[in-house]
A and B are shown apart, each in its own frame.
Chain A
Amino acid sequence: MRPEILYFSLTLAAALFSLGLLGLLLRRNLLLAFLCVELMLNAANLNFLAFSRYHNEPTGAVFVLFGICLAAVEAVIGLGLIVRTFRAHQDLGYTNLSALRW
């Protein structure tokens, strides 16, 4: 693999991760902020896959598989929490999550 494909993929992953971080900072709605977390997870997956291709090793692809499964679980649990928060407060602002404090 030509190294420029690796650098291209890593730069794209960095850009997507920063976009997700920007969205997490800017969005004032739990659901839309959660959307940005998914974007950041995908950027991490792209990094795994780019290095996996670079070293011609399937281990990175296996990790991406694990990452996608964990992202699915995380999305389901997070969305469940969001639905509960909405039922309790009829609103999805960040501060409503403070009801989860122990």
Chain B
Amino acid sequence: MLTLVALGIFALVALVGGSLAVMLRDPIYAVLSLVKAMLGLAGIYFILGAEYIGAIQIIVYAGAVLVTFLFVVMLVNLMPADIPPLPRGLNLYGAIALAAAWMLVLTQALTAILDLPDPAEARGASPDQYLFGTLPSIGKVLFTAYAFPFELLSITLIVGLIGASVLVQKRSEP
């Protein structure tokens, strides 16, 4: 019961943060609302039992990625007056209808799996044995079955680093 209440609170935080990020005119406020949504999601990760992923979510997403967004907002000197207002009339209603229809499709897909058996109960595991999100279990899988993708990921990070520095450097005109 307490779990569901806490889940509901964090879900509310995430939803309010997400919708403010979509609607707010001021770019700084929009980015900070998205930080709020990320923190709410991190809380949900904690409740689901994935402490490590929740910490990574806070450090990498709320801490690094969105701060980079804030840097760019200040770098291009984006003011609330530079942001076009949200479209009105048919465009607005059409976009809302499309998003609502997509939400309907996703939740309909949910009902297709509604009758799944509880796999942990079927296996006879006790509810306290949910260790999937702890660091040892993640590390064991990451460095055995997914060691090669992990190495590829480091190459991807280097490529992203070099690409970003090449993209934003100022070139002297020949």
Interface residues of A (CB under 8 A from B): 1-12, 14-23, 25-29, 31-32, 34-36, 38-39, 42, 45-46, 49-50, 52-62, 64-66, 68-77, 79-84, 86-87, 92-93
Contact = CB atoms under 8 A, between A and B. Distances in A.
A1 B103 CA distance: 25
B90 interface: no
A55 B78 contact: no
Given A11-B110, A58-B132, A75 B68 contact: yes
B21 A36 contact: yes
Interface of B: 3-4, 7, 11, 14-15, 18-19, 21-22, 27, 30-31, 34, 37-38, 41, 44-45, 48-50, 52-53, 56-57, 60-61, 64-66, 68-69, 72-73, 75-76, 78, 82-84, 86-87, 91-92, 95-96, 98-100, 102-103, 106-107, 110, 114, 116, 118-120, 125, 127, 129-133, 137-138, 140-142, 145-146, 149, 153, 156-157, 159-161, 163-164, 167-168, 170
Contact of A14 (B44, B106, B116, B157): B106
A77 B163 CA distance: 7
A49 B76 contact: no
Given A39-B34, A65-B142, A14 B103 contact: yes
